[in-house]
Amino acid sequence: MQSSLAELQRVFAIQKRHQAVVKASNADARINKLQRLKQAILRNQEDIVEALTTDLRRPRTSSPEFGAVIAEIDNAVIHLKKWMTPLEVNPSLPILGASARIVREPRGVCALYGPWNFPILLVLQPLVAIVAAGNCAIVKPNELTPASSQVIARIIAESFDEAEVAVFEGGVELAEQMQELPFDHVFFTGSPAVGRTIMAAAARHLSSVTLELGGKCPVIIDHTVDLKDAAEKIIRGRCTNAGQLCLAPDHVWVRKDLRDELVQHLCETVRTLFYPQGFLDKNAFGCIVNGRNLQRLQGYLQDALQRGASLACGGEIEAADLTVHPTVLIDVPATATIMQEEIFGPLLPVMTWDSIDEAIRVINAHGKPLALYVFSNDDAFVDNVLLHTSSGGVTHNDVILHAVDPGLPFGGINGSGIGRYHGIHGFNELSHERPVFSVPYVAKRG
């Protein structure tokens, strides 16, 4: 669906009127909607793969985004009736016969803004929570991935009436038009800079928000782990989607005397995974989304090298097809731009520490990241890191896995995000917990 202000306002008004009907829907009705969405995804799975290849040169052999969405739907279908059941609470007030319960009701009409880095997953996965909780939604896929946006529009049109879920495709102008509407809730995934704009617009309407942002996700490694194993996990995480992943390891902190061994393993892993014939296998490595982001990464790299950093491996940039080669950097000064901004690309600085307190101090100076990764078999070391840092989530002795487990809440904190989703946490995020206190009626005698 292409946008126009009049059309956007028309659909928003329809959804506002229809929200009372959706709110009153039972679990079976919502499950039926989710099943329709699942079948539409399955019908369009080949088009999803093709769209991701077109937009991001996503390797066809990589795990498709729709698999995680299907798993999210299946989990909601299994548990939705339990999630919707009011929670009985023992009243604390000493009133004979009183009862209390918490009823989860939908927030209302939601705006859902999708990002470009995982354009299918990060639209449809939150949409599952929106629908399961009984909301309506207007969805804006990201204009930087147009092929994926078109597939999303088709899937949603096949699954929902516009009175419940509608898609509008467009760029900044559309986003600004949506920000003028008094949505009940806004769900945004993207950069912290745009997140601030979204939150400011929502504040004008006192809309609640879920902001899934990012930050500089650090890795901390001590001497008690297998450095080769750690290096393989870090490189796989850093190079997923050519590093365009909010959960990707942003930089590594390792004890100074272990740096050279770790760097050797990092570079060996890069060569094994992406240079099997001695040159970059572009069928196994994605591209940067556009020229502006490629220039940004090129600027980070040039700035770091000019300030005294060295290339351990990589460093090549092929602007013609938006390729930034996997790159490991050492001796990066803390003042370099690459250590000040979220990298969001396949560049990996390796920093060193003599005392873990040094690394923690620098990490905390950059705000609270979406994720933190600790490689250590020393429980006291891990506990110390967790006690003295803050992040949206943590994976210990691997990367990203805390965000994959459907039983765990996913989201950031402060600069890396507001709110949680996945599984029941998404249902609760898109619901209002409404307390109900009941007192027995006693008729007055005349």
Under 8 Å between Cβ of 214 and 184: no
Q: Which residue intervals of 317-413 are DSSP H helices?
A: 356-365, 379-387
Q: In what order do the strands lie in the sheet with 417-418?
A: 165-167, 136-140, 109-113, 185-189, 208-212, 417-418
Rounded CA-CA distance 151/130 in Å is: 19
Under 8 Å between Cβ of 329 and 304: yes
**Can 313 be counted among the known catalytic residues?**
no
Distance of CA 91 to the CA centre of its chain: 38
Provide the token pair at 415: 């600069």
Under 8 Å between Cβ of 41 and 70: yes
Rounded CA-CA distance 349/243 in Å is: 13
CA angle 384, 385, 390 (to 5 degrees): 125
Helix (H) or strand (E) holding 259: helix 259-274
**Long-range contact pairs involving 271-275 (C-beta distance under 8 Å, separation at least 24):** 271/313, 273/235, 273/236, 273/239, 274/239, 274/326
Under 8 Å between Cβ of 305 and 311: yes
Rounded CA-CA distance 170/79 in Å is: 35
Q: Which residue intervals of 65-218 are DSSP H helices?
A: 65-84, 121-132, 146-159, 172-179, 192-205
Rounded CA-CA distance 273/283 in Å is: 11
DSSP-assigned letters across all residues of 277-332? TSS--TTSS---SSHHHHHHHHHHHHHHHHTT-EEEE---EEGGGTEE--EEEES-
Rounded CA-CA distance 170/44 in Å is: 22
Rounded CA-CA distance 413/418 in Å is: 6
| Per annotation, catalytic residue among 136, 217, 239, 246 | 246
3-state secondary structure of 143: coil
Provide the token pair at 66: 């729709």
| Per annotation, catalytic residue among 72, 212, 342, 429 | 212
**Can 212 be counted among the known catalytic residues?**
yes
Under 8 Å between Cβ of 99 and 116: no
Residues known to be catalytic: 212, 246
